[in-house]
Structure 1
Amino acid sequence: MKSLLLGALWWGLACAVQAQWPSPDELKAQSAVLDARRLALDDQYKQEMRLCYQNFDVTSCRLQARDKQIQANAQLRKDELAHKNLERQIKSAQAQQRSLERDSQEQQQQADREQAVKAAREREQSQADKLSEHAAKGGQREAYEQKQREAQAHRDDLEKMRRERNAKPAKPLPVPGTAP
């Protein structure tokens, strides 16, 4: 009777929880309860078998204990199956969630790659436009560089003249007819 009540409780819990999965700790606790029930059933069966050997009609008592054990194991097995089914559903839902997250990340990475390719194409196009613009202004660029060279040469000449002006005067030439 007790096992039927617990089984019905677990079955109801499993059906009600489908909307909200239990935590891993709750699953471990449920598993521990089922294991404890299995051990209790085994202990109860062993105790009943010991008591049967104390009766005069051992065979009939053993058969009754075995039938009782079979019914209790059947109910426990239903509860264990419901628990295992719930665990499988949770693992399946988690696997689907991981798959969705992985797909989402892959889609994001693909979008990032496409954005990077688009940006690279825009940079290449911009560079090509600059090169064509530069090629169109090629004659002007050469003229500009020539002016820059001439201006630098002029500055160098001015600097040379300033140095010559500020240099110490050379010694005067000796006067003719005087000996050194």
Structure 2
Amino acid sequence: MTADRDADGRRGGREYDIHVRYEGDDDPKKCTARKLAKFGLADLHRSDRATPYGVVLNPHAERALSPADRDASNLVALDCSWESAGEAMFSLPGDHRALPYLVAANPVNFGRPMELTTVEALAAALCIFGRNDRAEALLSKFTWGHTFLELNEEPLRRYADCEDSTDVVEIQREYLERGEG
């Protein structure tokens, strides 16, 4: 079943407030969350308590992110080093969802599945919610940003056309069985 479309033919016309629980343990020059905040595209929060409730992008979550989650008003990511991104770090309040199979385009993890930067994770979620325009706006601040959308064009489109988490997991399984993960 295809998601509802707004007057302009886009899926999901909702605006999402972008929030990042910011740990500050990465190289500040490579930190995508800081760059988003610099351009007014995301709000950084230094504590769990200060971070608003919303859909939390969490690689340890039991449910996959899907278009069924698009009614949230806040989209929340955790920005921390991959070394400290253990399950205990994701104690944020909200509806925790895991992103499905996608490939990184950032210079540090290019071509690696599931090792996305904060901006890639947020952009992927926005695409799944049918807000490619917002995803492109976030990624436009990075020289490699368009590459993320190009590398993941097919899976992002397919995930956005899903009805729920179960459908997303089924499509992800196809990519993993092909040996793409």
What TM-score do you get using the length of structure 1 for normalisation?
0.18
- Decide which structure has the larger Cα Rg and report it: 1
| Bigger strand fraction | 2
What TM-score do you get using the length of structure 2 for normalisation?
0.18
